[in-house]
């Protein structure tokens, strides 16, 4: 009986040792896994933060550049009253259209350029030219063709097409392309704007 008890106690002690070793191994593996996971996650988070801050800086730079490029000169094309191409019922559109065209380097001369052009010849210096007046005069020569392009484009639309935001944006894009073809690289249309926009 005593030997059986000793054998039983020995087996129980061996089982306890194996259990303790297994639990210790599991705890050590968990700690190692948690540590590795922490290091990996911290590196990933740091990389994400660096990537986000870089992309925000690039976005800020591109927005800054975009603002400089997007400045243009507004040319009001006036009001248009057009028949739309609805078949079931006659509809018409009353709209005010303005375009924003790109500037040239020569549009707004610096003070030095203005002074040097004034002292070039004998006699009285020529009166300074208002840059905006000169630009409007330049654009006036294109106005009939531009107005025709707007009329052709908008009158080819139905009231349903122009009633949606997407339809208006498409019309603006088509008008912009048509006007750019007319200007033939002299200037570029940056934006087409509709003022009053009434469909009846």
Each residue of 93-121: pLDDT tens digit?
Answer: 999 999 888 877 776 666 555 555 555 55
CATH of the domain at 115: 3.30.479.30
Domain of 13, in residue numbers: 1-70
Q: In the predicted model, is pLDDT for residue 24 greater than 50?
A: yes
Q: Are residues 187 and 99 in the same domain?
A: yes
CB 151 within 8 A of CB 92: no
How far apart (Å, rounded) are the C-alpha atoms in residues 129 and 180?
Answer: 26
Judge if pTM exceeds 0.85. Answer: no
User: What is the count of structural domains for the chain?
Assistant: 2
Q: Are residues 77 and 49 in the same domain?
A: no
Q: Are residues 90 and 169 in the same domain?
A: yes
Q: Are residues 109 and 164 in the same domain?
A: yes
Phi, psi of 108 (to 5 degrees): -125, 90
Q: Are residues 97 and 56 in the same domain?
A: no
Q: Are residues 165 and 113 in the same domain?
A: yes
Cβ-Cβ contacts under 8 Å for 151 (sequence gap 6 or more)? 80, 82
């Amino acid at each position: 009986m005593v030997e059986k008890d000793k054998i039983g106690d020995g087996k129980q002690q061996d089982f306890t040792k194996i259990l303790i070793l297994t639990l210790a191994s599991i705890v050590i593996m968990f700690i190692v896994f948690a540590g590795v996971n922490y290091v990996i996650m911290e590196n990933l988070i740091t990389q994400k933060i660096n990537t986000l801050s870089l992309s925000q800086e690039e976005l800020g730079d591109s927005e800054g550049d975009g603002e400089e490029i997007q400045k243009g000169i507004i040319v009001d094309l006036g009001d248009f009253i057009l028949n739309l191409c609805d078949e079931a019922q006659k509809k018409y559109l009353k709209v005010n259209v303005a375009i924003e065209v790109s500037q040239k380097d020569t549009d707004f001369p610096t003070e030095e350029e203005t002074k040097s052009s004034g002292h070039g010849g004998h006699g009285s210096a020529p009166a300074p030219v208002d840059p905006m007046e000169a630009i409007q005069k330049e654009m006036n020569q294109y106005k009939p063709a531009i107005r025709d392009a707007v009329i052709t484009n908008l009158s080819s639309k139905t009231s349903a097409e122009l009633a949606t935001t997407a339809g208006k944006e498409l019309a603006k894009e088509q008008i912009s392309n048509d006007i750019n073809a007319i200007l033939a690289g002299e200037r570029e249309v940056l934006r087409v704007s509709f003022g009053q926009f009434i469909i009846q």
